[in-house]
Structure 1
């Protein structure tokens, strides 16, 4: 049942837009400290995020969608956020936004063809490292760092990655920019690899792993991380069409992948107890197709146009499925990837990083957690 007009009219309150955390003023490392959780938030301990690739809202969720399982079957199980937007073009800065609140710079907008170190010249509000490059210094905080300091757990699951914590050598060309038969992993879709605080840590190999480990980890609540972040390979995320192995790819391939992995998550003990699953897309089709924005995040100190030809990554939509969400509902509250980061931080009682701390940014509220 859709939200009533009266309910939607109160979205400013229900979306949880009121800021609760101070904006960072420097990129110096700091201990993650808990903050007051808004009273309306569900008592979840397990968040699951799946990112698909490069599809606008109408193509995915419209009546002619090539992903009927996602747009019809899964959509009936959850809450469709119809005004959810990417924050940049091309792919990489959207992933980075979701785990750090950092805005794009010219190299991340170009998907970091070379795995270069970030060269900075200070900081700017809200919590932005000023400069250009790919791998942020250890002083730039991340959501995984917050979780670890709060005694919580996380794990990234990357299809086809093989070796854990896999990334190019520093300042070398990224050889995962194009898929190869048997290896369709893309470093640029694995945001954890772009922070020295993560890749230089001895725990990186334990926390950034191949997707094949997901089945084992979901078997019990005790082995399921508080944050489970999943990236399919370049064929199964809808990016390539056709795929390097000769299959069709596109939304149809993403839909087939979801038929396997979405039920694996939603039937797991941790999800059924207190889980929240978010399925979204990094960006719309591209900067020449849709570079719109929703939430005042640009221009940033490193890029006057986060979307290359506009201020955002376009309207993509997101689906939230949870025991705390009524099936077959929708929210028209404007959200973006920074909203997602802030909403995850809210659930775990963490301060907001970077653009997630922007005053007035909508965070998931009772329009989403409506059960």
Structure 2
């Protein structure tokens, strides 16, 4: 299982002989170099794996459920249908406990020294994050937050809304105007930002209510987008912040849409930093925090 990084808050050389294959290889390299031909450099970093460039990505984050609680469960028929028709990452892990640091990891590649679920100082952080990276590339970003009292509200909690699930408010370089109520999620999906996060409230996200409740919410509110994404070069990513503290922090992560190979799965170990890295590489952005050392999700794309 990947472990979460933490930080404070605030070969023997062979001698070539005449006619030996090594000598011939060396000679070829010299000639190729003099002719301006490309010669492989074993010291070079491996090229980034190919990932698609969807027109739109919607990331939905649920709460506190382990992989085996959801995948294969009769309580989550819709999410399992997405896994069957899309891609199921069978070794996906969260970074830590409790909730809030995981959201910061997924959004900014770092837990930003946060170790609990306390309300943060709004706008206190100036670190790179997915929103700033997308903006720098001329792409667009927004969040849609269920039960947020009003557009751009920075309140800590209200009814079933909790700021701890909305890391964008911690960054002064992310305009609060990009934080919308879920009612503002467009019905014309062509108007969606390049990347958006959807955060259900404390009941709809399975934290305070059942898996079945969250699954029904996902079907009611995102099925139409998922169906559209399957024929419009767009992606729905469903993941969880953390597990139930009983499964080594292994969580469900499901990808669905036209770029995804239907019925695919991957047993490669991934974490929140890898999900962030993959989205960043889809749009050629910089890499925030630990995403720079992450890896792209592979083996589940159509091309």
Q: Same fold (TM over 0.5)?
A: yes
Aligned with 1:317: secondary structure?
strand
**For structure 1, which runs of at least 5 residues remain unmatched after alignment?**
1-17, 21-37, 118-134, 169-173, 241-248, 293-313
CA 1:39–1:97 in 2, change beyond 3 Å: closer, same or farther? Answer: closer
Q: Find runs of 4+ consecutive structure 1 residues off by over 6 angstroms.
A: none
Tell me how far apart the structure 1 counterparts of residues 121 and 50 of structure 2 sit (CA, whole Å): 42
Distance 1:165 1:66 in 2: 34
Give the direction of change, closer, same or farther, for the CA distance of 1:282–1:220 in structure 2 (3 Å limit). closer
Please say if residues 46 and 271 of structure 1, whose CA atoms lie closer than 8 Å, have aligned partners that are also in contact: no
Q: Indicate how the Cα distance of structure 1 residues 78 and 166 shifts in structure 2: closer, same or farther if over 3 A, else same.
A: same
Asked if 2 retains the 8 angstrom alpha-carbon contact of 1:91 and 1:109, the reply is no
Paired residues of 1:166 and 1:187 also in contact (CA < 8 A): no
Where do residues 19-30 of structure 1 align in structure 2 (5 Å cutoff)? none
Cα 1:53–1:65 shift into 2, 3 Å: farther
Matched, 1:211 2:179: no
Paired position in structure 2 for 1:280: 239
* Change in CA separation of 1:77 and 1:271 when aligned onto 2, cut-off 3 Å: closer
Compute the TM-score of the two structures, normalised by the length of structure 1: 0.66
The alignment's TM-score, normalised by the length of structure 2, stands at 0.79
* Residues in 1 aligned to 2:152 and 2:96: alpha-carbon distance in whole angstroms: 25
Structure 1 residues 264, 229: CA separation in 2 closer, same or farther (over 3 Å shift)?
A: same
Rounded to whole Å, the distance in 2 between the matches of 1:137 and 1:42 is 31
C-alpha RMSD over aligned residues: 2.0
Match of 1:137 in 2: 125
Aligned residue number for residue 369 of structure 1: 301
Structure number with greater Rg is 2
Partner of 1:340: 275
**What are structure 2's unaligned runs of at least 5 residues?**
1-44
Q: What displacement does 1:41 show?
A: 2.1
Q: 1:67 aligns with which of 62, 71, 76?
A: 76
Q: Deviations over 1:272-295 (max 9, x none)?
A: 321111101100013xx24x4xxx
Q: Structure 2 CA distance, aligned partners of 1:272 and 1:211? A: 24
Question: How is 1:24-173 mapped onto 2 (pairs within 5 angstroms)?
Answer: 38=48, 40-62=50-72, 64-71=73-80, 73-103=81-111, 105=113, 108-112=114-118, 114-116=119-121, 136-138=124-126, 140-168=127-155
CA distance in 2, matches of 1:136, 1:57: 34
Question: Once the two structures are superposed, what CA deviation does each residue of 1:304-359 show, in whole Å capped at 9, x if it has no partner?
Answer: xxxxxxxxxx100210112121222211011010001100000000111100011x
Q: How does 1:160-199 map to 2 (within 5 A)?
A: 160-168=147-155, 174=156, 176=157, 183-198=159-174
